[in-house]
Structures are given as structure tokens and as C-alpha cells.
């Protein structure tokens, strides 16, 4: 410590100190000379003798300085100054290398910042580490269909470790665990409220909400930004109609969040009071969502009772087979995750065993699973972590190619600097000293590249966020350059610098000083090229190998892209305007709501430029589907056919869509037989339905469907018999991929036991559909100002949105592969040019001895081909072995698609030959005379 301060003080008064010890030495010299003079030497001789006796003054000064300061740092500064000079001297190289590094490091930093946002960030609540989220899972071959779960509202996911996993529980389980657990200090529950119409100060809009139990905010340890948060007493049957707004929502609607508390709002046309505002930055427990408001759990009695005609009050709070509620607990101090799992697991498992009613259910019992919740629910992680892993691997490979490239350029430059290095070494510089100096140059280069890379990363994050969000306002994955990302970028920069700098530095200093010095003066070229050259070849081979990997990936994604874009969807997607309206949330009720919608449909159809207009109770793509059993009359219903609305309707259920008139005309779905719904099919007339080919195939085999009677078993509804009046060609509904679903279309105006609530309108227009948006809003506003127009888009954009992630991913990978190929070609070109230059003499002799130009070109190209072949020999098996990692991102193509591999190989070989041809051509133009004189 003392020495540290001393050294710092020295640095501060360095000039003064240096002058001092020079004076001290001068005094010594004078004294010594005087002494010699006294011994009888002439003054001049005496001075020289004294000087001789003193020895190497520079070394002495250096040694004294060494006492006071860090020689190491001094040298580092020296090295950096020198490196700066070198960088300025080789502008082209510096700019090129900086560009390569900036792209490589920037891309890596940008992708890493997304992964950081996904994996590392914690919930903005107090002590997030003690939070645990409750799950259950089915191991082995157990299936949810055979389990005690009869109805669900929520999601399941396949986890590679835990199998089919889900966070949803029946409400009695929540009550049980809340009472019996001494592991959790608080156990709270929540359930997405979905989209609701909220009217603030006379302005209606549709936003998403979350139902939360009374302990939710207490459990998370949050303090309100204004007013108060939901407490236990708010969450009960008959509790007050209160709502807590998110900070952003309150700020947007009331400008000052503090002003929001106490304000009245209408939610789905029911009056609520804002009691407070959640703290700034709080987004709930799921980073993939950001609810705009929070309601007490039991407020769903208030809201659902008005929207669901088949509502039985509170039934779902008591149902042991209805899985819907999600739970999180705060572990008591000192309780570990494993202890809580061991204590709470059996409680739940014993209870759930009592709910099983038969052996099938007893053999498929849920098993309790506690997971850490410091980062919130891992919905985002499941969705994005694999794509980002793959992207990170790709940009990592690109950085590796860039490193190999710069290393090669440095190698070539080091050869040009052989003489300089030899001089340094012969003057007594240690090899490590020179290596250090060369490393300082590469690290400085890397740092400049890294700094530029940060700029690239800032831009890259914005660009990627824009691409990933794809116009979605509720995109919640916010990446940023926080300190861990910056540290990671800095470390990456240093590693990069070492990677591309170390090998050339070691290689360049591995010189026998004498031959090099002699060779340079004598003009003979006999350097020790063997090892050095093989290193540069190795670098080219590895670049080719990596490029091939990326090219194969690009090939697979391009094929996926074209497969996705040429999907057969069964209807015409161009020139269709799509939007949603929810009249029920604005207070419309049966049966008036049906005529309200029909009336709107007629007014839209009458708009000039609208060729036809229709509506349905769900969009066709990207928003799930309705599904329940619909079977021919007299046929039993499938044993297990989960019913409801969601994505991925079970095979045993039928996709159901309630549509308005002229649906098939508007969507241009061809009818193979019969007619479509029209004015005749209204309430009270004979219930009718239209089925599609897939439904006929599964349910009727060879019978003629026309006139057949079928029965629909909607969830919680009484069975509804209908007559088939038409057969439609297969068309998409819900998923864009896979087999065409079996669909039964029903006329919504007949109100065949399908609740009429939110409706999606489809307008086939002439010209740009979005041009009609303002007219649509105007008509809706005139009809009922309380109803907002939502999800307004075109059908084509909706379909693109559905496959946007795949498209984006395919485009990014293709872009990266092209970048990698370009970098590798530059590297190959540089290496070959250098090789040709080195062999000028040899080529000259060959040509003087009668070699043809073609032979010379071939000689150089053969070299290129050998390198390329070596690269391919390494990477083709690697590509075949690793392509299965991207399998889940491919569509309509196998991971080891031979065409993709073949195209990649051919592309790479052509690019390599192209990169090698120019140097080869130059070699063949060598004038033998000049070449020989050059020697």
C-alpha cells in the first residue's frame, strides 16, 4: 500500500523527480572527474574516465526509475503509443479490422443483451430470490387427457426436464395450500383477466388486466405509487368494485398517476373505482405480459356474470377439476426451495389423489413442482431462449471468422515487419517484450473495434426489438446495455484481441535474427515460412469450415421461409381488412347484440369500395380457435375432447366458427356443394351448418354429407342439432401449418348455443384495405361510441405476423451467413494474394521455363481448392451433426436436407474459386523477366 502511494506520488511529480536524479548523477560525475584531475589527469580525460566509470547512464536512469514506478505500466503506455502510431500508419488495415470487429462484437453484444434480459434480470419486487412459483407436471407417458383435469383455463408446456408442466391449479388447491403451509410466509394467486374494455374519462379502449388474490401485492412486497394496492378484504365474494392501475397506464390516462386514485372507470361497462397505482416499472409476475390494471380475484364474479350467459356464480371457485389459478409463494426466511418442495409437494399430491374418480385418473396424477421465481414466470424464456441461443451461436461463429481473418492479415503484416522485429530482438529486447508489444497492438485494435461494436450493438438492439415486436405494442422483451452486458462486451473484446493477436505475435517473434537481417540486406528471400504459412492456411480452412455451417443453416432457413410463404391457406388473403369489436363489453345483450352486429355488417358492406363484408366469432389465423365435439346425429361423442377456445384444438374435437352471411364469398373459400349462409338463416329458422372436407372425411366417410343432421356439444351448453347445407373446401383456421382442421361453420345469427360476444369483421376491399380504416371507425363510433375498434389489420399482415418469428429468424440467419461468406472470401483473397506475391520468383522461373498461363492459374486455384476441400471435410460432417439443433425452427424440410447441404457446398466452392481466381490471374500475368530480376 505504501509503495502504491509512493508510486502514485512519483507519477504526480515525475518531471521534477527525473530532473533531480539527473542532477544527482551530474554531481557524481563532477566529483569523480575532479578526483581524477587531482590524481593528475587532464580535465578532458578526467571527464571521460568518470563517464566511463559511471557506465550506461540510460540503463542507470531506467533502474532508478524502476524503483519508483511500475516499469510494467510505463511499458504498456509505451506499447500503446507505439500501437497507435502503427494503426495510424496502416489506415486501410485499421479501418477494415475495426469494421469487422465492430460488426462481430456488436452483433454478439446485441444478442447477448437480449439473453441477459431473458435470463438474468429479476422481477422489480423486494427480495425476488425468495419467491417460488408453484407448478405441477406429469412424468413419463402420463397424459393430461387421462388425468383429473377436466377443464382448463391456462397453458401447458413441454419442458425437456420435467415433461408436461403447467402452473394452473384448481381453486380448492389454493385454499388448501394457503392454510396448511408453514413454508411460505405468503401464498398468493393470480389469473389473467384477458382483454377488457376500459373506459376512462369517456374514452374506451381495450387493454389487458390481471386478477390477483388479496395477498398478491403484499406477497410481492410492493408499495403503491399512489393510493393503495389491493388488500385481503378487497378479494371476497361481494367485495368492492376496485381496480389498481399500472403506473404506465395511469400516467397515460391521468397524466399524473397520483390523480388516478379515487377516479371512477368503467370496465366492461361496469363501474369500478381506481384505488391506487402500482409502483413504476412493475409489470406483474410474467415478463412476457404487462397488465394495464389489476382486479381482485373475486371481481370476476362481477365481470363474468354479465358477459357469460351460462354463468353459474362462483362455480369455478369450488370445482376440483377446473384448473385455472396460478400461484406464487414467498419462502419463509431460512427455508430452501428443496425443503418447501418436500413439505408442500405431499400436501398437494395427497389432496389431488382424493379428486381422482377412476383408475385412469389415479394412474395419471399430477406431481407437484416448485420452481424459482426470482425472474418471474419463464414464458418469455421458453419462447425466445432457443432462438437467441442459435443466433448467439451464429454471431459467435461470425466473430470467430472475423478473428481468423484479422489474424491472417496480422500474420501477413508481421512478415512485412520481420526486419523491424529482428532489429528489436537483436538490440536485446526479450521475446516476451516484443510479443507484449504486438499484443498491445491487437488489444488496442480490439478495443477500438469493441467501442465501435457498442455503437453497432445499440443500433442492433433497436433494430432487433423493432423486428421482434413486429408492430406489436405490447412487446415486453426490453433489452438494454446494462453493466453486465457492457462487462461481457469488454471481456469479449479482450478475448478477441488475444485470439487474433497471440498466434501471429508468437509466430512473428519466432525468428532467427541473423538470417532475417542478412536476408533483407542481401535481397534473398529464404524466410522460415513453413510453420507460419501453415498457420495462415489453418486459419483459412477454419473460416471456410465455419462459413459452410452458416451457409447450411441459411439454406435450411431460406427453404423454410419459402415453404412458409407459399403455404396453402384455403382462402384469399389479399385485400381483406380485419378488426374486432366487442359489443357485449359495452353493454349489449342477447338478442339485441345479434341485430346490432348484423346491422353493422350491412353498413360495412354498403361502403363504397367494399366488395363484401362478413363477420365471425374468431379471426381465422393467429388467435386460436373454438373447438368442441360436433358429430353426426346418433354417433357418440369422443371420450375425451377438451372444449373451449384456444390454440391447438385436440384432434378429437371439431373446430367451430360462427359466421355471418357471405362469409365464404368474402374469404373466397370455394363451396364444393350446397349454398352458404344468407338472409334465410336467422333465429328461429331451421338450424343449419356448413362442414369442410376434413370434417366429412373424419366423420362421414363415404356418405353424402348434404342434408345430414349433426349435433354440436358446446362446453356447458345443451347439445344443438343442425342440418348440413353445404360443404366447403379445406381452409385454415387457427394454425397455418399441419393438416387442415375439421371445421363446422354455423350461422351466428341463428345463435346456435354459441355465445355472441367478441366478433371479428372481414371486409374484402378493392385496393388497400387499410384505406378503409377511418370509415370503419366512423361507422362504429356512430353505432356505439363505447365500443373501440381493436386489432385492426389486414389479413395478409395477420398471416405474416403469425409466421413473423420464423420469417425474421430465417432472414437473420441468411443475412449472417452471407456476411460470414463475404468475410471468409476476403480472407481467402488476402491469403492467396499474399501467397502469389511470395511466389512471384518461382512463378517467373516456371513461366520462363515454358509453363502456360493456364497451368499457373490452375496451380494457384489448386491451392484454393485444397484449402476449401479441407474446410469442407471438417464442416460437412459437423453440419450434418449439428443441424438437428435448429430442427424446431424448420418447416417443411428435414434438418439434413441434402439440397441445402449441396447448395451450401457449391456456393462455398464457387465463392472460394472466385476469391482465388483474381490472384491466380494476376500470377499468370507475371512477366518472367521482371520476376527473375525481382529475385
Partner 1 sequence: MRPRPQPRVELLQGTLDLLILRTLLAGATHGHAIAKHIQRTSEELLQVETGSLYPALHRLEAKGWIEASWELSSKGKRAKFYRLTPLGRKQLTSEQSKWDAFSRAMGLILKPGKQEG
| Contact set with partner 1 (CB under 8 A) | 2-3, 6, 20-21, 23-25, 27-28, 30-32, 34-36, 39, 49, 53-56, 59-60, 63-64, 66-68
Q: How far apart are the first and last CA of the chain?
A: 60
CB-wise, 15 or 707, nearer to partner 1? Answer: 15
- The rounded distance, in Å, linking the Cα atoms of 782 and 598 is 15
CB-wise, 2 or 91, nearer to partner 1? Answer: 2
CB-wise, 20 or 389, nearer to partner 1? Answer: 20
Closest separation in Å from C-beta 66 to partner 1? 7
Contacts of 676 (CB under 8 A, 6+ apart): 661, 662, 663, 664, 665, 690, 726
Closest separation in Å from C-beta 24 to partner 1? 5
CB-wise, 60 or 930, nearer to partner 1? Answer: 60
Contacts of 457 (CB under 8 A, 6+ apart): 105, 106, 107, 109, 110, 113, 481, 485, 489
Residue located via cell numbers 569523480: 32
DSSP for 600-613, please give it: HHHHHHTSTTEEEE
CB-wise, 64 or 513, nearer to partner 1? Answer: 64
- Number of residues written out for the chain: 935
Closest separation in Å from C-beta 8 to partner 1? 13
CB-wise, 54 or 522, nearer to partner 1? Answer: 54
CB-wise, 64 or 96, nearer to partner 1? Answer: 64
Burial string for 554-564 (b: 16+ CB within 10 Å, else e) reads: bbbbbbbbebb
Closest separation in Å from C-beta 41 to partner 1? 9
Closest separation in Å from C-beta 1 to partner 1? 13
C-alpha cell at 701: 366417410
Closest separation in Å from C-beta 64 to partner 1? 5
Of 215, 264, 261, which is closest to residue 236 (Cα–Cα)? 215
Do 494 and 143 form a contact (C-beta atoms < 8 A)? no
Do 459 and 453 form a contact (C-beta atoms < 8 A)? no
CB-wise, 10 or 921, nearer to partner 1? Answer: 10
CA-to-CA separations, 917 to 367, 694, 836, in angstroms, rounded: 65, 57, 11
Closest separation in Å from C-beta 437 to partner 1? 25
Closest separation in Å from C-beta 28 to partner 1? 5
CB-wise, 49 or 779, nearer to partner 1? Answer: 49
CB-wise, 10 or 917, nearer to partner 1? Answer: 10
CB-wise, 28 or 81, nearer to partner 1? Answer: 28
CA-angle at 821, arms to 817 and 822, nearest 5°: 120
CB-wise, 34 or 519, nearer to partner 1? Answer: 34
Closest separation in Å from C-beta 436 to partner 1? 23
Closest separation in Å from C-beta 63 to partner 1? 4
Torsion from C-alpha of 744, 747, 750, 751, nearest 10 degrees:
60
- The percent of the chain in helix, strand and coil, each rounded to the nearest 5, is 55, 15, 30
Do 618 and 626 form a contact (C-beta atoms < 8 A)? yes
745 three-class SS: strand
Closest separation in Å from C-beta 823 to partner 1? 51
C-alpha cell at 21: 536524479
CB-wise, 27 or 73, nearer to partner 1? Answer: 27
- The rounded distance, in Å, linking the Cα atoms of 3 and 801 is 65
- The rounded distance, in Å, linking the Cα atoms of 510 and 114 is 43
Do 629 and 652 form a contact (C-beta atoms < 8 A)? yes
Closest separation in Å from C-beta 78 to partner 1? 20
Closest separation in Å from C-beta 68 to partner 1? 7
Closest separation in Å from C-beta 11 to partner 1? 14
DSSP for 326-381, please give it: EEEEEEPTT--HHHHHHHHHHHHHHHHHHT--SHHHHTT--EEEEEE-TT---HHH
Contacts of 326 (CB under 8 A, 6+ apart): 133, 134, 154, 167, 168, 169, 189, 190, 191, 377
- The rounded distance, in Å, linking the Cα atoms of 174 and 155 is 17
CB-wise, 67 or 258, nearer to partner 1? Answer: 67
C-alpha cell at 577: 381488412
Amino acid at each position: 500500500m505504501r509503495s502504491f502511494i509512493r508510486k502514485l506520488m512519483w507519477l504526480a511529480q515525475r518531471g521534477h523527480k527525473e530532473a533531480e536524479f539527473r542532477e544527482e548523477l551530474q554531481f557524481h560525475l563532477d566529483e569523480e572527474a575532479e578526483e581524477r584531475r587531482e590524481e593528475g589527469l587532464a580535465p578532458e580525460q578526467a571527464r571521460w574516465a568518470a563517464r566511463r566509470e559511471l557506465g550506461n547512464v540510460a540503463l542507470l536512469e531506467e533502474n532508478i526509475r524502476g524503483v519508483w514506478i511500475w516499469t510494467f505500466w510505463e511499458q504498456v503506455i509505451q506499447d500503446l503509443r507505439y500501437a497507435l502510431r502503427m494503426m495510424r500508419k496502416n489506415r486501410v488495415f485499421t479501418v477494415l479490422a475495426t469494421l469487422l470487429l465492430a460488426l462481430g462484437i456488436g452483433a454478439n453484444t446485441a444478442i447477448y443483451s437480449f439473453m441477459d434480459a431473458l435470463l438474468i434480470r429479476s422481477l422489480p419486487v423486494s427480495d425476488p430470490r425468495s419467491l417460488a412459483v408453484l407448478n405441477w407436471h406429469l412424468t413419463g407417458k402420463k397424459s393430461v387427457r387421462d388425468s383429473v383435469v377436466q377443464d382448463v383455463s391456462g397453458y401447458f408446456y413441454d419442458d425437456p426436464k420435467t415433461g408436461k408442466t403447467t402452473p394452473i391449479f384448481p381453486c380448492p388447491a389454493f385454499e388448501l395450500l394457503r392454510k396448511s403451509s408453514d413454508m411460505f410466509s405468503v401464498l398468493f394467486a393470480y389469473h389473467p383477466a384477458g382483454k377488457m374494455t376500459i373506459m376512462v374519462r369517456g374514452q374506451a379502449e381495450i387493454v389487458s388486466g390481471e386478477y390477483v388474490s388479496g395477498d398478491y401485492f403484499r406477497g410481492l412486497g410492493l408499495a403503491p405509487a399512489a393510493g393503495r394496492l389491493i388488500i385481503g378484504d378487497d378479494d371476497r365474494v361481494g367485495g368492492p368494485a376496485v381496480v389498481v392501475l399500472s403506473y404506465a397506464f395511469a400516467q397515460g390516462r391521468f397524466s399524473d398517476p397520483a390523480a388516478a386514485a379515487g377516479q371512477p372507470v368503467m370496465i366492461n361497462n361496469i363501474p369500478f373505482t381506481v384505488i391506487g397505482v402500482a409502483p413504476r416499472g412493475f409489470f406483474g409476475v410474467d415478463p412476457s405480459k404487462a397488465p394495464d390494471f389489476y382486479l381482485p380475484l373475486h371481481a370476476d364474479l362481477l365481470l363474468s356474470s354479465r358477459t357469460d350467459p351460462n354463468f353459474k356464480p362462483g362455480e369455478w371457485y369450488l370445482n376440483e377439476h377446473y384448473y385455472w389459478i396460478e400461484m406464487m409463494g414467498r419462502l419463509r426466511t431460512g427455508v430452501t426451495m428443496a425443503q418447501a418442495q418436500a413439505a408442500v409437494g405431499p400436501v398437494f399430491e395427497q389432496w389431488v389423489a382424493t379428486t381422482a374418480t377412476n383408475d385412469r385418473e389415479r394412474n395419471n396424477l399430477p406431481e407437484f413442482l416448485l420452481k424459482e421465481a426470482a425472474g418471474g414466470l419463464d414464458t418469455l424464456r421458453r419462447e425466445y431462449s432457443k432462438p437467441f441461443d442459435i443466433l448467439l451461436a451464429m454471431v459467435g461463429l461470425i466473430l470467430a471468422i472475423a478473428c481468423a481473418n484479422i489474424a491472417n492479415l496480422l500474420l501477413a503484416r508481421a512478415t512485412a515487419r520481420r526486419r523491424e522485429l529482428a532489429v528489436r530482438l537483436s538490440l536485446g529486447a526479450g521475446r516476451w517484450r516484443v510479443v507484449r508489444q504486438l499484443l498491445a497492438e491487437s488489444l488496442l485494435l480490439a478495443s477500438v473495434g469493441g467501442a465501435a461494436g457498442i455503437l453497432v450493438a445499440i443500433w442492433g438492439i433497436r433494430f432487433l426489438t423493432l423486428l421482434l415486436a413486429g408492430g406489436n405494442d405490447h412487446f415486453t422483451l426490453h433489452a438494454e446495455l446494462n453493466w453486465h452486458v457492457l462487462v461481457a462486451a469488454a471481456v469479449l473484446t479482450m478475448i478477441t484481441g488475444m485470439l487474433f493477436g497471440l498466434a501471429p505475435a508468437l509466430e512473428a517473434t519466432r525468428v532467427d535474427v541473423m538470417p532475417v537481417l542478412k536476408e533483407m540486406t542481401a535481397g534473398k528471400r529464404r524466410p522460415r515460412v513453413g510453420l507460419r504459412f501453415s498457420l495462415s492456411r489453418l486459419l483459412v480452412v477454419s473460416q471456410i469450415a465455419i462459413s459452410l455451417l452458416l451457409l447450411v443453416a441459411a439454406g435450411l432457413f431460406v427453404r423454410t421461409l419459402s415453404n412458409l410463404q407459399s403455404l396453402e391457406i384455403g382462402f384469399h388473403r389479399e385485400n381483406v381488412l380485419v378488426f374486432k369489436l366487442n359489443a357485449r363489453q359495452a353493454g349489449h345483450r342477447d338478442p339485441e347484440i345479434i341485430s346490432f352486429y348484423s346491422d353493422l355488417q350491412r353498413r360495412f358492406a354498403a361502403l363504397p369500395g367494399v366488395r363484401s363484408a362478413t363477420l365471425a366469432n374468431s379471426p381465422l389465423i393467429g388467435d386460436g380457435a373454438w373447438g368442441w365435439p360436433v358429430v353426426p346425429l346418433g354417433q357418440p361423442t369422443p371420450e375425451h375432447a377438451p372444449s373451449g377456445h384456444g390454440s391447438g384444438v385436440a384432434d378429437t374435437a371439431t373446430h367451430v366458427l360462427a359466421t355471418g352471411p357471405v362469409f365464404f364469398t368474402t374469404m373466397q373459400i370455394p363451396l364444393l356443394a350446397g349454398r352458404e349462409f344468407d338472409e334465410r338463416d336467422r333465429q328461429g329458422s331451421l338450424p343449419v351448418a356448413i362442414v369442410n372436407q376434413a370434417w366429412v372425411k373424419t366423420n362421414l366417410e363415404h356418405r353424402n354429407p348434404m342434408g345430414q343432421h349433426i349435433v354440436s356439444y358446446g362446453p356447458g351448453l345443451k347439445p344443438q342439432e343442425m342440418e348440413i347445407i353445404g360443404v366447403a373446401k379445406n381452409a385454415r383456421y387457427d394454425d397455418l401449418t399441419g393438416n387442415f382442421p375439421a371445421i363446422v361453420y354455423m350461422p351466428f345469427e341463428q345463435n346456435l348455443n354459441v355465445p355472441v360476444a367478441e366478433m371479428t369483421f372481414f371486409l374484402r376491399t378493392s385496393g388497400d384495405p387499410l384505406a378503409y380504416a377511418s370509415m370503419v371507425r366512423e361507422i362504429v363510433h356512430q353505432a356505439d361510441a363505447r365500443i373501440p375498434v381493436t386489432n385492426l389489420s389486414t389479413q395478409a399482415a395477420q398471416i405474416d405476423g403469425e409466421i413473423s418469428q420464423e420469417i425474421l429468424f430465417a432472414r437473420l440467419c441468411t443475412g449472417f451467413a452471407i456476411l460470414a461468406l463475404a468475410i471468409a472470401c476476403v480472407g481467402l483473397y488476402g491469403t492467396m494474394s499474399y501467397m502469389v506475391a511470395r511466389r512471384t520468383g518461382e512463378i517467373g522461373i516456371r513461366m520462363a521455363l515454358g509453363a502456360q498461363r493456364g497451368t499457373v492459374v490452375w496451380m494457384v486455384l489448386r491451392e484454393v481448392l485444397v484449402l476449401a476441400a479441407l474446410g469442407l471435410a471438417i464442416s460437412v460432417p459437423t453440419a450434418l451433426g449439428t443441424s438437428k439443433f435448429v430442427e424446431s425452427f424448420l418447416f417443411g424440410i428435414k434438418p439434413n436436407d441434402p439440397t441445402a447441404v449441396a447448395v451450401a457446398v457449391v456456393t462455398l466452392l464457387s465463392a472460394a474459386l472466385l476469391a482465388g481466381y483474381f490472384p491466380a490471374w494476376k500470377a499468370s500475368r507475371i512477366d518472367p523477366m521482371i520476376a527473375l530480376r525481382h529475385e
